[in-house]
């Protein structure tokens, strides 16, 4: 994308930006870390979980009868899954916050304390002892080394490699300043701490920057975001506070929370809220759709100003809402639909076909699945 044909614009999420930069400048990391793999390969969380589980199971025999080995041996089923997932998440949290992986055991043991005293103790500690925190730290280091030797990149490793090795690299910094002259970041309260280091680098090298910060946002707090650290970016910027328009949270937040948490509350909703009650789910869907239709027909609101927020909306409910609103000639467009892959006809047809190819799987499908497969695949063939 370009503006007036002169200035290219790249739109990325923080993790997407760091991933692409690591791939592009992999030779710098290859040389600095003496890596063996010449090309990196991204690991999805599911694959990361599987490989880490197998790796730690395989190397369990190398630890003998130590307490750590006994602890790992007692993990089964869901407990093993949670332990592996939580351990891998620690790597991602540490990388996003700019903490060294080697410091994870100490932080787990002593917590995050404030001030220079914590940093001094952190750098001087030997972090010994047979503890669960030390076990997690050892496993993370083992996993990190195993992945780097094979060129495998998880999200946690992307964060770590970027802030610890790539961003401080002088050659990379030179390329950054020559490639980009400006940066725009929206809702930096949802950005990881290491992204703020990148922003400060751009500003220190006289790049143009525009940042937005929502003090009432912070929806990713605890999910790699560091709103408090991101707020420090204001000291490098000219701050402009936008008008504080009336919001539901500021005007009715406490009332809504009270009604939601205390069903016996005698408080009533303000006049700007409308409560729709029904004895069945189907009736509730129809009443909601009819209310929207009536409100639009009476010109109380425009169709483009209506947003239907329905987490976990299933196929029947989605179809009901679309049909009722479409029948009333009200245009509607689903956004960010979250549907399982098997709900798409082509995907289901291909899965059915695979069941016919591999032995022992055909019994999992019925006649309707076969008919749908033939219809979908035949239609696709004719279209081509």
The answer to whether 154 and 91 have CB atoms below 8 angstroms apart is yes
Could you give the maximum distance between any two Cα atoms of the chain, in Å? 76
- Residue extents of the structural domains in the chain: 14-166, 274-337, 341-383
Q: Which of 349, 351, 327, 347 is nearest to 339 (CA)?
A: 347
Cross-strand pairs, 184: 210
pLDDT digits (tens, 9 = 90+) for 290-344: 999 999 999 888 988 888 888 777 778 888 888 899 999 998 888 877 777 887 8
**What's the pLDDT at 362?**
77
**What's the pLDDT at 63?**
57
Cα angle: 19, vertex 25, 26; to 5 degrees:
80
CA distances from 34 to 30, 31, 116, 143 (A): 6, 5, 33, 17
- Helices and strands in the chain, H and E counts: 17, 6
- Regions of the chain short of the pLDDT cut 70: 1-7, 59-78, 112-130, 244-250, 380-384
Work out the number of other CB atoms within 10 angstroms of the CB of residue 345: 15
**SS3 assignment for 108-132:** HHHCCCCCHHHHHHHHHCCCCCCCH
**What's the pLDDT at 6?**
65
CA distances from 332 to 28, 172, 298, 304, 328 (A): 49, 47, 18, 9, 11
Question: What single string gives the DSSP state of each residue in 130-141?
Answer: S-HHHHHHHHHH
Burial 17-54 (b: 16+ CB within 10 A, else e): bbbebbeebbebbbeeeebeeeebeebeeeebbebbbe
Spatial distance between the Cα atoms of 249 and 255, rounded to a whole number of angstroms: 10
Q: Which of 232, 183, 192 is nearest to 211 (CA)?
A: 183
For the record, the structure tokens of 333 come out as 């467009």
For the record, the structure tokens of 375 come out as 């219809």
Q: What's phi and psi for 282, nearest 5 deg?
A: -60, -40
**What's the pLDDT at 126?**
45
**What's the pLDDT at 195?**
93
* Radius of gyration of the chain measured on its C-alpha atoms: 27
Classified as helix, coil or strand, 238 is coil
Spatial distance between the Cα atoms of 143 and 152, rounded to a whole number of angstroms: 10
The answer to whether 185 and 169 have CB atoms below 8 angstroms apart is no
**What's the pLDDT at 60?**
61
216-225: long-range pairs with CB below 8 Å, 24+: 216/247, 216/249, 217/187, 217/189, 217/190, 218/189, 218/190, 219/190, 220/190, 224/92, 224/93, 224/96, 224/97, 224/159, 224/192, 225/96, 225/189, 225/190, 225/191, 225/192
> Can you give the pTM of this predicted structure?
0.66
Residues 6+ apart with CB under 8 A from 38: 26, 30, 151
Spatial distance between the Cα atoms of 226 and 230, rounded to a whole number of angstroms: 6
223-227: long-range pairs with CB below 8 Å, 24+: 224/92, 224/93, 224/96, 224/97, 224/159, 224/192, 225/96, 225/189, 225/190, 225/191, 225/192, 226/96, 226/97, 226/191, 226/192, 226/193, 226/196, 227/189, 227/190
The answer to whether 101 and 141 have CB atoms below 8 angstroms apart is yes
Classified as helix, coil or strand, 168 is coil
**What's the pLDDT at 2?**
42
Cross-strand pairs, 209: 183
Q: Which of 76, 119, 120, 125 is nearest to 105 (CA)?
A: 125
**What's the pLDDT at 381?**
47
């Amino acid at each position: 994308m370009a503006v007036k044909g002169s200035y290219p614009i790249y739109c990325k999420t923080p993790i997407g930006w760091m991933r692409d930069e690591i791939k592009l400048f992999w030779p710098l990391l290859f040389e600095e870390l003496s890596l063996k793999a010449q090309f990196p390969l991204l690991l999805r969380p599911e694959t990361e979980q599987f490989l880490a589980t197998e790796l730690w199971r395989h190397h369990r025999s190398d630890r003998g009868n130590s307490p750590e080995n006994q602890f790992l041996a007692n993990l089964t089923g869901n407990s093993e899954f949670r332990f592996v997932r939580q351990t891998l998440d620690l790597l991602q949290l540490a990388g996003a916050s700019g903490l060294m992986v080697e410091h994870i055991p100490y932080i787990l043991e002593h917590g995050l304390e404030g001030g220079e005293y914590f940093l001094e103790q952190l750098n001087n500690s030997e972090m010994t002892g047979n503890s669960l925190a030390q076990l997690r730290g050892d496993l993370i280091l083992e996993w990190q080394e195993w992945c780097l030797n094979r060129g495998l990149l998880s999200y946690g490793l992307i964060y770590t490699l970027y802030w610890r090795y790539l961003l401080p690299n002088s050659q990379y910094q030179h390329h950054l300043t020559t490639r980009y002259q400006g940066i725009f970041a929206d809702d930096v309260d949802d950005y990881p701490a290491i992204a703020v280091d990148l922003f400060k680098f751009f500003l220190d090298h006289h790049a143009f920057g525009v940042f937005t910060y929502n003090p009432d946002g912070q929806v990713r707090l605890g999910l790699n975001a560091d709103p408090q650290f991101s707020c420090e970016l204001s000291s490098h910027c000219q701050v402009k506070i936008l008008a504080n328009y009336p919001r539901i949270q500021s005007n009715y937040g406490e009332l809504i929370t009270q009604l939601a948490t205390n069903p016996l509350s005698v408080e009533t909703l303000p006049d700007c809220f409308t409560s729709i009650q029904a004895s069945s789910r189907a009736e509730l869907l129809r009443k909601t759709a009819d209310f929207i239709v009536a409100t639009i027909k009476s010109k109380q609101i425009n169709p483009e100003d209506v947003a239907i927020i329905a987490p976990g909306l299933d196929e029947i409910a989605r179809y009901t809402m679309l049909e009722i609103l479409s029948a009333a000639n009200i245009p509607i467009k689903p956004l960010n639909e979250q549907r399982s892959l098997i709900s798409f006809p082509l995907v289901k047809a291909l899965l059915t076909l695979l069941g016919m190819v591999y032995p022992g799987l055909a019994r999992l499908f019925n006649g309707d699945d076969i008919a749908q497969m033939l219809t979908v695949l035949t239609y696709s063939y004719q279209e081509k």
